[in-house]
Every structure is written in structure tokens, then in C-alpha cells.
């Protein structure tokens, strides 16, 4: 299968290791991975910040870029949710039903990484080796907009050597929320402080998640607070081998 990687703007620009890990993992599983160089951003930041009109050209650009692929993999629950739940609605709102139909077709072939592995490739043991104590933060949009449920946990439990420990109050938001982290910085930081306390209480050496954005928030908080725990994307763990 030829798989297109939609890396997301954040991974492309700031966390390329997440995209590299996703690519190596899928290639190891025997698939061709293409990175369409035309790709930019799903437009979620604009929509969620109150600029839906500005997001419409980004939706059109995304559809143009990914329409020709059979499957699109995204190492982000949040951006997958934007493609699945926002793109067609935005096109309709802009009075472009043709674009809405195309956006729906692309969305139907777009999968968050854990969905793609478990549902499309029907694999939970990806042959990874990662001998560390890890806790997992189930990011809000993967959890509540995609309903990925226990898919990431099933993948992590199958990793050789990995010690998966429970994160207390795991399903509480870390406080990122896009521009919320800036506009309501103090409430966001209070939410983050509780998340950091729970990460510490888990006893894990690493906090993993399926979204680079939430990890940027949690990871930044860990560094500033002087905590020893570090963050890692699910893809980076699944890509690791002996």
C-alpha cells in the first residue's frame, strides 16, 4: 500500500523526528510512504481561533494535495479530527458543496496513526523494542472526537521491554488547547501543573502521547518545572527496535 504522510505543520517544522519515526515504522511494516511536498496545515488553528474564512483555502489546498492517495496517515489525533469533522463543514459554510464532497472523500481515507495500525493494517504488535517505563496521556481529540479508545494502549502493551504505568486522571486535558494556552495562559498553566503532578505520580521516565502539540505543552512544562521526566511521541516508541 502506498501511504501518504500528512505530518502536520507542527511536526514538519518543529518535531521532524515524529514524522521520521512514523515513516520508518510504516516502511518496516512493508508499506511505501510518500510525503507530498505540497502539504502545509489542516487549518484547525484558524477555525478554533475564530477565523473559519481564512481556513477555507487551507482546506482546498489539503484536498488538492491528498486526494490522489488511497490512505493518509496523520501522527495527530487533533489534526485528524479537524480533517474528519471540520473540513467538509467549512466547505459547505463557504458555499462550495463540490469541495465538501471531495473533503469528505479525503477524510474517509485519513487515519490517525493508532487507528491506521490497529484498524487498517490490523496489527498491534509492530515489532518494537523499548525498554523504558512509560506512561500515556490520551489526548482529548483522539479520545473524544476520534474515539481511538484503547488502540494506543494495545500498541504500547505489545512493545517488547516496555513497562506501561498508569497515569492518574489520564483523561483530563493537559491545558494546551491551541491558542487557549496563550489567551488563557494562567488557566492553561494551572491545568498543566495538575497534569505534571500526575505524570510525576505515575513514576514513569517518559510521558508518551499521540499528539506533538500536547507533548510540546507537557514537555515544555516538564523542562520549566525541572522535572526529570521527558516526552516522546507514540510513533517514536513504535519505531524503536533492538
Partner 1 sequence: MTFLGMPGASTSGQVRADRPFPTAARDALADPQLRANLRNATTTIRDKRARVVAEVPDWVELRAAGAAMKDDVLAHLDDYLGQLERQVTARGATVHWARDGDEANRIVTDLVRATGAREVVKVKSMATQEIALNEALAAAGIQAVETDLAELIVQLGHDRPSHILVPAIHRNRTEIRDIFQREMPGVDPELSDDPKMLAEAARRYLRRKFLSAQVAISGANFAVAETGTLAVVESEGNGRMCLTLPRTLITVMGIEKLVATWRDLEVYLQLLPRSSTGERMNPYTSMWTGATEGQDSHLVLLDNGRTATLADPQGRAALRCIRCSACLNVCPVYERAGGHAYGSTYPGPIGAVLSPQLTGVDAGFNATLPFASSLCGACYDVCPVAIDIPSMLVHLRARAPKHAAERVAMRTAAWTMRSPRRWQRALRALRLARPLHRFRRLPPPLSRWTKSRALPTPPRQTLRDWFADDGA
Residues that bind partner 1 (CB under 8 A): 7, 9, 11-17, 19-20, 23, 35, 37-41, 43, 45-52, 54-55, 57-58, 61, 140-141, 143-145, 171-173, 175-193, 216-217, 219-221, 223-225
Q: How far is the CB of 195 from partner 1 (least distance, A)?
A: 10
Instruction: Quote the CA–CA distance of 124 and 57 in Å, as a whole number.
Output: 37
Smaller CB distance to partner 1: residue 13 or 131?
Answer: 13
Nearest CB to partner 1, comparing residues 225 and 241: 225
Which residue lies nearer to partner 1 by CB, 60 or 159?
60
DSSP-assigned beta bridge partners for residue 163: 133
Answer yes or no: are the C-beta atoms of 164 and 134 closer than 8 Å. Answer: yes
Taking the least distance from each CB to partner 1, the nearer of 152 and 221 is: 221
Smaller CB separation from partner 1, 50 or 228: 50
Tell me how far, at minimum, the Cβ of 85 lies from partner 1, in Å. Answer: 8
Half-sphere exposure (CA, 13 Å, Cβ side) for 201? 11
Q: Which residues pair with 208 in a beta bridge?
A: 136, 232
Shortest Cβ 52–partner 1 spacing (Å): 5
Minimum CB distance to partner 1, residue 153 (Å): 19
Distance CA 183, CA 164 (A): 34
> Rounded CA gap, 111 and 188, in Å?
28
CB of 177 to partner 1, least distance (A): 3
Burial 178-206 (b: 16+ CB within 10 A, else e): eebbeeeeeebeebbeebbebbbebebeb
Amino acid at each position: 500500500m502506498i501511504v501518504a504522510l500528512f505530518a502536520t505543520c507542527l511536526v514538519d517544522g518543529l518535531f521532524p523526528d515524529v514524522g521520521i519515526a512514523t515513516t520508518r515504522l510504516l516502511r518496516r511494516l512493508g508499506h511505501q510512504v510518500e510525503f507530498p511536498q505540497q502539504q502545509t496545515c489542516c487549518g484547525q488553528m484558524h477555525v478554533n481561533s475564530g477565523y473559519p474564512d481564512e481556513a477555507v483555502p487551507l482546506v482546498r489546498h489539503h484536498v488538492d494535495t491528498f486526494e490522489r492517495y488511497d490512505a493518509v496517515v496523520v501522527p495527530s489525533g487533533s489534526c485528524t479530527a479537524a480533517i474528519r469533522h471540520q473540513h467538509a463543514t467549512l466547505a459547505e459554510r463557504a458555499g462550495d458543496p463540490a469541495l465538501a464532497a471531495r473533503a469528505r472523500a479525503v477524510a474517509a481515507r485519513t487515519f490517525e496513526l493508532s487507528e491506521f495500525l490497529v484498524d487498517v493494517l490490523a496489527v498491534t504488535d509492530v515489532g518494537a523494542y523499548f525498554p523504558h517505563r512509560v506512561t500515556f496521556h490520551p489526548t482529548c481529540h483522539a479520545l473524544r472526537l476520534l474515539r481511538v479508545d484503547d488502540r494506543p494502549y494495545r500498541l504500547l502493551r505489545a512493545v517488547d521491554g516496555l513497562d506501561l504505568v498508569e497515569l492518574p486522571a489520564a483523561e483530563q486535558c493537559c491545558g494546551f488547547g491551541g491558542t487557549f494556552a496563550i489567551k488563557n495562559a494562567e488557566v492553561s498553566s494551572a491545568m498543566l501543573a495538575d497534569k505534571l503532578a500526575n505524570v510525576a505520580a505515575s513514576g514513569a521516565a517518559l510521558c508518551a502521547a499521540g499528539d506533538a502539540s500536547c507533548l510540546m505543552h507537557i514537555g515544555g512544562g516538564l523542562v520549566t518545572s525541572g522535572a526529570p521526566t521527558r516526552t516522546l511521541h507514540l510513533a517514536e516508541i513504535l519505531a524503536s527496535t533492538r
